[in-house]
């Protein structure tokens, strides 16, 4: 039985009598944990921001209709030439509308699926922007704006104007920021677009859209789905794309294959679309953890050193404790409790300093063209990291304290007493 009150009384005395060493060891842990918390919050914050940059603009599943030649050519259907090797040269895809056949029923079906958190229809078409003497080629996308806002954080990319403004204006257009600059247009200005057939439609600029990717902002604009259908001259069932957002991103590849098979459309999942994106995230996380763990290991060595020193200094104390009836376990508990107190105090203060430092970084201005909605450095205040931080502090001090304290446990008191 270990009498913790007595043991902790002794370790408290030791810690306080060597206050400077104690402080140094504690600060070692504090610095380690502070650095870990700050680094991991900052780096994952940046990571998340970069991820969102891509994720928000890439639907989990993108359903569309790819232009391609039919796989079933007449000769393959003819019994006469079967079996046989068919070689047909210069197959051309036939003209087809680029819309999704039966798009709206598909959309409704998707919305009933359990794992789908939302599906939005889109109509993408090539147009020309006409403003004064300028004629610029570009993309126009018709969207269901409330759904887009709900599912893809669309309003984060509207730098002027609001999604409601577009929703409420029949012939409104959200102009790409690059386009607006080229044509020197302001919200409220008029703009004409023409479709590929040359028909001209007047639109009103209700706001600017900035994705942060210049190539997109120079060509891309958004209008209401209905407006887009009117511009391409099609009815209300005409949609070219469906963007699906899932509750669980990892289900995307499986579900995309499922949709392709069932509905004879093309479906591309996010992993396929951004294969390099996950790799990048993983590697950045790896670097974060490598650096943090190095810091904590360095702090651990500091504790090891100081406890080792303390035990050499306290050889006589150890001997006398053992001579008067304290067991090896008691003596080990004295030194282990010191290590754990250092770890606990250092760890908690590390968390606090880490939080303070994160909050400070979170206040530092960070303005970039690429990220219109972000004005300060992003920080990820995930409570998990704080839990990991304190656990690692305790674990590393436990290990650092275990080896020296084990030595104290097995020290033979007779040898020390006779050595004097």
Partner 1 sequence: MDFVLKTHNLNKHFRKPVDFHVLKNINLEIKKGEFTSIMGKSGCGKSTLLYILSTMDTDYEGELYLNNELITGQSAARLAHLRNKHIGFVFQFHYLLGEFTVLENIMLPAQKLGERSDAEIKAKAMEILDMLNIGHLGHKLARRISGGEKQRVAIARALINEPSILMGDEPTGNLDSHNSDNVLNIFKKLKKEKGLSLLIVTHDEDFARQTDRIIYMEDGRIVEQ
Rank residues 272 and 313 by Cβ distance to partner 1 and give the closer one: 313
Rounded Cα distance between 214 and 158, Å, is 15
Least Å distance between CB 51 and partner 1?
Answer: 54
Rounded Cα distance between 273 and 60, Å, is 9
Radius of gyration of the chain (CA): 33
Least Å distance between CB 345 and partner 1?
Answer: 19
Rank residues 54 and 411 by Cβ distance to partner 1 and give the closer one: 411
Question: Interface with partner 1 by CB under 8 A: which residues?
Answer: 1, 3, 5-6, 9-10, 13-14, 16-17, 316-317, 319-330, 413-414, 417-418, 420
Least Å distance between CB 342 and partner 1?
Answer: 17
Tokens linked to 273: 């679309």
Rank residues 14 and 122 by Cβ distance to partner 1 and give the closer one: 14
CB 306 within 8 A of CB 24: yes
Rank residues 5 and 92 by Cβ distance to partner 1 and give the closer one: 5
Least Å distance between CB 414 and partner 1?
Answer: 5
* Residues 6 or more apart in contact with residue 213 via CB below 8 angstroms: 57, 370
Rounded Cα distance between 170 and 240, Å, is 20
Strands 190-195 and 200-209, how do they pair? antiparallel
Least Å distance between CB 25 and partner 1?
Answer: 17
Rank residues 14 and 245 by Cβ distance to partner 1 and give the closer one: 14
Least Å distance between CB 323 and partner 1?
Answer: 5
Rank residues 216 and 315 by Cβ distance to partner 1 and give the closer one: 315
Rounded Cα distance between 95 and 75, Å, is 20
Alpha-carbon separation of residue 103 from 2, 150, 185, 316 (angstroms): 73, 21, 35, 85
Least Å distance between CB 403 and partner 1?
Answer: 20
CB 396 within 8 A of CB 343: yes
Rank residues 291 and 320 by Cβ distance to partner 1 and give the closer one: 320
* Residues 6 or more apart in contact with residue 230 via CB below 8 angstroms: 201
Least Å distance between CB 382 and partner 1?
Answer: 43
Alpha-carbon separation of residue 290 from 12, 39, 108, 167 (angstroms): 34, 11, 47, 48
Rounded Cα distance between 245 and 88, Å, is 40
How far does the chain reach from its first CA to its final CA, in angstroms? 31
Rounded Cα distance between 149 and 151, Å, is 6
Rank residues 50 and 416 by Cβ distance to partner 1 and give the closer one: 416
Tokens linked to 216: 């997109």
């Amino acid at each position: 039985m270990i009498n913790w009150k007595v043991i902790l009384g002794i370790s408290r005395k030791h810690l306080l009598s060597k206050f400077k060493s104690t402080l140094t060891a504690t600060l070692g842990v504090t610095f380690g944990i502070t650095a870990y918390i700050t680094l991991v919050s900052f780096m994952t914050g940046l990571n998340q921001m970069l991820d969102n940059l891509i994720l928000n603009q890439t639907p989990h599943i993108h359903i569309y209709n790819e232009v391609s030649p039919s796989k079933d050519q007449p000769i393959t259907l003819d019994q006469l030439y079967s079996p046989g090797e068919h070689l047909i040269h210069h197959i051309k895809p036939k003209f087809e509308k680029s819309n999704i056949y039966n798009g709206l029923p598909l959309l409704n079906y998707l919305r009933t699926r359990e794992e789908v958190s939302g599906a939005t229809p889109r109509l993408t078409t090539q147009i020309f922007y006409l403003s004064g003497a300028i004629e610029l080629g570009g993309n126009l996308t018709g969207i269901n704006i409330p759904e887009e806002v709900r599912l893809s954080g669309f309003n984060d990319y509207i730098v002027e104007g609001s999604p409601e403004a577009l929703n409420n204006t029949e012939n409104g257009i959200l102009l790409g920021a690059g386009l607006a600059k080229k044509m020197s247009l302001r919200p409220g200005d008029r703009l004409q677009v023409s479709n590929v057939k040359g028909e001209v439609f007047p639109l009103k600029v209700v706001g600017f859209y900035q994705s942060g990717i210049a190539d997109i902002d120079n060509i891309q604009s958004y209008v209401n789905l209905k407006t887009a259908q009117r511009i391409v001259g099609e009815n209300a069932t005409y949609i070219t794309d469906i963007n699906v957002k899932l509750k669980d991103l990892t289900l995307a590849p499986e579900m995309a294959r499922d949709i392709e098979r069932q509905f004879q459309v093309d479906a591309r999942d996010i992993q396929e679309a951004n294969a390099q994106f996950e790799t990048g995230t993983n590697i950045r996380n790896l670097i974060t953890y490598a650096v943090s763990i190095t810091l904590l290991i360095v702090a651990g060595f500091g504790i090891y050193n100081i406890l080792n020193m303390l035990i050499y200094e306290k050889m006589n104390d150890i001997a006398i404790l053992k001579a008067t009836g304290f067991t090896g376990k008691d003596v080990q508990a004295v030194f282990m409790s010191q290590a754990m107190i250092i770890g606990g105090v250092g760890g908690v203060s590390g968390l606090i300093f880490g939080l303070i430092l994160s909050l400070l970084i979170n206040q530092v201005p960070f303005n970039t063209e690429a990220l219109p909605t972000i004005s300060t450095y992003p920080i990820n205040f995930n409570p998990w990291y704080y839990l990991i931080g304190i656990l690692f502090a305790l674990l590393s001090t436990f290990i650092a304290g275990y080896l020296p304290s084990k030595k104290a446990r097995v020290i033979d008191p007779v040898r020390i007493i006779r050595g004097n």
